[in-house]
C-alpha cells in the first residue's frame, strides 16, 4: 500500500502518473464508463465506441471524436484541442492512442460477430502534426468475424503505476503476450522483451534518466502539471488527465500544500521527494517490453497503438501488470540524446522507431482511470 506521504507527495510529481480512482460522490462518476460499457445499446457503433473509449492513451487526454454517418458508418477524428505539444511534438503518441481506440472498437464489433472495415486517413496522412482530417473512416458490415478472447479483458485492463515486486515474468510468457499483441498488425512491427542481463539494466537506467530529464524540462513538466486533477471535485469535473485523489490529497489541497505552483516548482522539497519515489519503479523493473516499427508513418503509428492495446490486454489475461515508460521515446530537443540512446539500445536504426516501451511485472490491483463518457466523443 502507498503510505499517506507517498500518496500526497509522489503522485503529485510523476510526469505521467494517473493513479487509480475510486468512485466519487458528487458530480459525474469518473469510473462509470468502465461498468458494463455499451449495455442496452442497440446501435452497434455506440456499443463499440463505449469500449473504444477505454483505450490506453497518453496523459489520458481521450482526444477522440466521432461522427455517425448513415446507419453503419463512423468518421473518426482527433480532437486537436487535446494534443500534447510539449511532450509529443509530432503527435506520434496521440496517434498511438488512436490506434488503441481503433483496436478496442474492432474487438467490440467482432464480439457481435460483425466486421469493422477501417480505412485509415482517407483524406491523406497529416504531417508533421495531426489536423482536422479524419484518422479513419469505419464501416460496419455483416461479414462474419471471429470473436477474440481479448475482448473480455477490456474492462479489466489498467495502466499500473505501482511497484511490481521482485517476481520476474518468464520469457515464454512474455513471448506469448507479444505474439498476441502483434497478431493482425497491418504494418510489420516487432514486440520484444527483456527480463534480465545487461540490456535490462541499461533500460532501467535509461527509463529513470529520461523521467528525470522530463522533470527538468520546463515545458514538458508544465504540460503534465497543467493536466493534474487534484482531488475528487476536480477529477469529477474533468474526468481526464492525471488524476490524484485520496484523503491525504484532499487534506493537503485544503492546506494549500498542493496546488499548481507547488507542483510546478521543481525545487520544492516535497516535489523533489515525490520525484524520487518514482526512481525504484524504473530501476527495479522486473522486465521491459517494447514495440519497434520499421518506419514512422501515421499508419504505422496506428498499428503500433493497436498492438500495444492488444499487448496490454493479453498481459491482463495472464495476470501481468504493465506501465508504459515513454519519456525516452519523446521527440523534443531536450530529450534528443536519451532518445538516440533508446533507439540504439533497442536497435531501431534509420527510419525505424521504438514506438512503446513499458515496464512489466506483477503488481497489486489498481482501479480504473477516469473516462469522460461516450457522449463526450460524439460530434453532431
Ligand X SMILES: Cc1cc2nc3c(=O)[nH]c(=O)nc-3n(C[C@H](O)[C@H](O)[C@H](O)COP(=O)(O)O)c2cc1C
The contact set with ligand X (CB under 6 A) reads 16-18, 56-60, 93, 96-97, 100, 158-159, 161, 323-327, 369
How many other C-beta atoms are found inside a 10 Å radius of the C-beta of residue 146?
Answer: 7
User: In angstroms, what is the minimal distance from the CB of 106 to ligand X?
Assistant: 16
How far apart CA 359 and CA 285 sit, in angstroms, is: 6
User: In angstroms, what is the minimal distance from the CB of 62 to ligand X?
Assistant: 8
Query: Measured from the CB atom, is 210 or 352 closer to ligand X?
Result: 210
Q: Hey, what's the cell of 121?
A: 486517413
Q: Does residue 368 contact residue 31 with C-beta atoms inside 8 Å?
A: yes
184-187 — which CB contacts under 8 Å span 24+ positions? 184/306, 185/303, 185/306, 185/307, 186/299, 186/303, 187/293, 187/297, 187/299, 187/300, 187/303, 187/304
Residue 378's DSSP bridge partners are 66
The closest residue (CB) to ligand X is 16
Query: Measured from the CB atom, is 15 or 231 closer to ligand X?
Result: 15
* CA neighbor of 186 nearest in space, from 361, 66, 307: 307
Query: Measured from the CB atom, is 96 or 263 closer to ligand X?
Result: 96
User: In angstroms, what is the minimal distance from the CB of 63 to ligand X?
Assistant: 11
Query: Measured from the CB atom, is 16 or 289 closer to ligand X?
Result: 16
Residue 209's DSSP bridge partners are none
User: In angstroms, what is the minimal distance from the CB of 261 to ligand X?
Assistant: 23
How far apart CA 192 and CA 200 sit, in angstroms, is: 12
User: In angstroms, what is the minimal distance from the CB of 202 to ligand X?
Assistant: 18
Kindly report whether the peptide bond that precedes residue 128 is cis, defined as omega within 30 degrees of 0.
Answer: yes
Query: Measured from the CB atom, is 100 or 352 closer to ligand X?
Result: 100
Query: Measured from the CB atom, is 93 or 153 closer to ligand X?
Result: 93
How far apart CA 181 and CA 148 sit, in angstroms, is: 12
- DSSP-assigned letters across all residues of 261-315: HHHH-TTSHHHHHHHHHTHHHHHT-SEEEEEEES---HHHHHHHHHHHHHHHHHH
How far apart CA 361 and CA 168 sit, in angstroms, is: 6
Query: Measured from the CB atom, is 16 or 314 closer to ligand X?
Result: 16
User: In angstroms, what is the minimal distance from the CB of 333 to ligand X?
Assistant: 18
Query: Measured from the CB atom, is 153 or 326 closer to ligand X?
Result: 326
Q: Which residue has the cell 484541442?
A: 81
User: In angstroms, what is the minimal distance from the CB of 101 to ligand X?
Assistant: 10
User: In angstroms, what is the minimal distance from the CB of 266 to ligand X?
Assistant: 18
How far apart CA 10 and CA 19 sit, in angstroms, is: 11
Q: What is the DSSP letter of 332?
A: S
User: In angstroms, what is the minimal distance from the CB of 217 to ligand X?
Assistant: 14
Q: Does residue 79 contact residue 88 with C-beta atoms inside 8 Å?
A: no
Backbone angles phi, psi at 215, to 5 degrees: -60, -35
Query: Measured from the CB atom, is 321 or 352 closer to ligand X?
Result: 321
* CA neighbor of 107 nearest in space, from 158, 47, 25, 58: 47
User: In angstroms, what is the minimal distance from the CB of 366 to ligand X?
Assistant: 8
How far apart CA 279 and CA 6 sit, in angstroms, is: 13
Q: Hey, what's the cell of 47?
A: 456499443
Query: Measured from the CB atom, is 34 or 77 closer to ligand X?
Result: 34
Amino acid at each position: 500500500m502507498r503510505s499517506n506521504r507517498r500518496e500526497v507527495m509522489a503522485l503529485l510529481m510523476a510526469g505521467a502518473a494517473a493513479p487509480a480512482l475510486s468512485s466519487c460522490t458528487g458530480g459525474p462518476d469518473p469510473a462509470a464508463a468502465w461498468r458494463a460499457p455499451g449495455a442496452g445499446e442497440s446501435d452497434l457503433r455506440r456499443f463499440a465506441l463505449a469500449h473504444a473509449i477505454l483505450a490506453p492513451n497518453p496523459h489520458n487526454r481521450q482526444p477522440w471524436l466521432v461522427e455517425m454517418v448513415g446507419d453503419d458508418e463512423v468518421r473518426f477524428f482527433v480532437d486537436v484541442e487535446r494534443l500534447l505539444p510539449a511532450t509529443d511534438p509530432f503527435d506520434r503518441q496521440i496517434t498511438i492512442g488512436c490506434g488503441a481506440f481503433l483496436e478496442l472498437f474492432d474487438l467490440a464489433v467482432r464480439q457481435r460477430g460483425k466486421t469493422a472495415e477501417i480505412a485509415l486517413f482517407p483524406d491523406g496522412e497529416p504531417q508533421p502534426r495531426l489536423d482536422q482530417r479524419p484518422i479513419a473512416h469505419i464501416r460496419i458490415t455483416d461479414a462474419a468475424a471471429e470473436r477474440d478472447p481479448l475482448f473480455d479483458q477490456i474492462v479489466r485492463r489498467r495502466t499500473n503505476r505501482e511497484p511490481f515486486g521482485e517476481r520476474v515474468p518468464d520469457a515464454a510468457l512474455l513471448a506469448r503476450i507479444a505474439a498476441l499483441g502483434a497478431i493482425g498488425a497491418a504494418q510489420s512491427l516487432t514486440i520484444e522483451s527483456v527480463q534480465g542481463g545487461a540490456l535490462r539494466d541499461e533500460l532501467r537506467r535509461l527509463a529513470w534518466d529520461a523521467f528525470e530529464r522530463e522533470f527538468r524540462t520546463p515545458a514538458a513538466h508544465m504540460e503534465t502539471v497543467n493536466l493534474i486533477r487534484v482531488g475528487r471535485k476536480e477529477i469529477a469535473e474533468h474526468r481526464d488527465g492525471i488524476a490524484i485523489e485520496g484523503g491525504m490529497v484532499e487534506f493537503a489541497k485544503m492546506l494549500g500544500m498542493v496546488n499548481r505552483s507547488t507542483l510546478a516548482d521543481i525545487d520544492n522539497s516535497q516535489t523533489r521527494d515525490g520525484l524520487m519515489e518514482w526512481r525504484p519503479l524504473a530501476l527495479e523493473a522486473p522486465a521491459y517490453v517494447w514495440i519497434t516499427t520499421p518506419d514512422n508513418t501515421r499508419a504505422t503509428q496506428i498499428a503500433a497503438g493497436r498492438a500495444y492495446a492488444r499487448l496490454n490486454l493479453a498481459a491482463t489475461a495472464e495476470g501481468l501488470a504493465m506501465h508504459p515508460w515513454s519519456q525516452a521515446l519523446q521527440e523534443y530537443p531536450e530529450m534528443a540524446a536519451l532518445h538516440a540512446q533508446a533507439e540504439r539500445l533497442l536497435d531501431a536504426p534509420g527510419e525505424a522507431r521504438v514506438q512503446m516501451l513499458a515496464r512489466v511485472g506483477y503488481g497489486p490491483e489498481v482501479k480504473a482511470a477516469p473516462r469522460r463518457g461516450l457522449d463526450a466523443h460524439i460530434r453532431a
